[in-house]
Amino acid sequence: MRKAISFVFCVGTIIILVLTLISFSPFQSQTFDIFDHLRLHYFVCAGFAFFVFLWLRKTVWLTVTLLILLSNGSILYSSFTNTSALKKPTAQTKLIKLLNYNAYYKNKSAKKFIDYVNQEKPDLIVLEEFVGMSKEVVQSLKSQYVYSGPYLTKSDDKNSKQPNYIFIFSKFPFQIKTFKHWNLSDRNPPIAHVELNIRDTKIDLIAVHMHWPYNAKFKAQGLNWLSNYVKPLKNPVLLVGDFNLTPWSDTLLRFSQKNKMKKFGWFEGSWPSQTANVDFPFPHFLIDHVFVRDSAEWKINKHRFEAGKSIGSDHLPMISEFSLETKK
């Protein structure tokens, strides 16, 4: 029995070791890139194997599992420390509620979405893959939110108009800075950038939808383009959207560290919504993120970040609450 257990765990450990090495590979491959999202799984499996080898007194295999734990654990720890701390609001805290939601272009559950908005009453709404939502949703939201992004924008050929891929609704006034659709030749992801005016404070709200995770090259190009875009901004930055990257992706970690940003979430789950209620470890992932970067004068505090209920998309809506604080 011990021999059978030893054989199974030795083979499993070799597989985890190979996948871990692949996940650290700089080679941009659709196959290699997907293993970057499973780092937490490698850590948990290696931790379980460690105790089995301790019981079996396998010194060499204990060393192998320790190496796996350390390599993946370093990324997990860095990702954890790069997460904004949850701050308890006081009675004087002026909370701002943000709804970030990949609505899914085939989503036909207009009533569920409108009911959810009426329930949560967010101050800001950022929607990705908004093109499939009905005019009923647009009319309902425009009746509640004074400020919104353009519903129709020029397409790439500049001779016609198309529904905007990303949409922003706001109770605060804003000035539109940039709206872009997919443009693989320019390497930019869909982006909506507005300058919000919140109680006499200007904030750069940027909504993006990064390339799906099956093309590492496009993803890397999109993140590089986004880094160059946010670098010169002087206001506090609120970067929101579907990144198609897990919190423990070293690609996402390098992006956030390079741009001096911190994310709101770490262990929450936003995709796929179909497994949100499955009582099993890690059946879904957080890929819909909120990043913040303070300015020289203002700090953005996180007070809430959690997934809502399923309302028709393959993604769950993500609710955030934050506040602005002057640096003393």
Does the structural domain 96-326 have CATH classification 3.40.225.10? no
Dump pLDDT digits (tens) for 50-77. 999 999 889 999 999 999 999 999 999 9
Helices (H) and strands (E) in the chain, counts: 8, 14
Q: If phi over 0 gives left and psi between -120 and 50 gives alpha, with beta otherwise, what is residue 196? A: beta
Helix (H, G, I), strand (E, B) or coil at 243: coil
Question: For all residues of the chain together, what is the average pLDDT?
Answer: 86
User: Residue 188's pLDDT is what?
Assistant: 84
Domain edges within the chain: 2-81, 96-326
> For residue 220, what are the CA distances in angstroms to 2, 257, 294?
45, 15, 25
* Model pTM score: 0.89
Task: Give the pLDDT confidence of 261-307 residue by residue, as tens digits.
Answer: 999 998 888 998 877 666 665 678 899 999 999 999 999 999 999 99
Cα atoms found within 13 Å of the Cα of residue 239, Cβ hemisphere only: 26
The stretch 144-151 carries a mean pLDDT of 81
CA–CA separation, 245 vs 226, rounded Å? 15
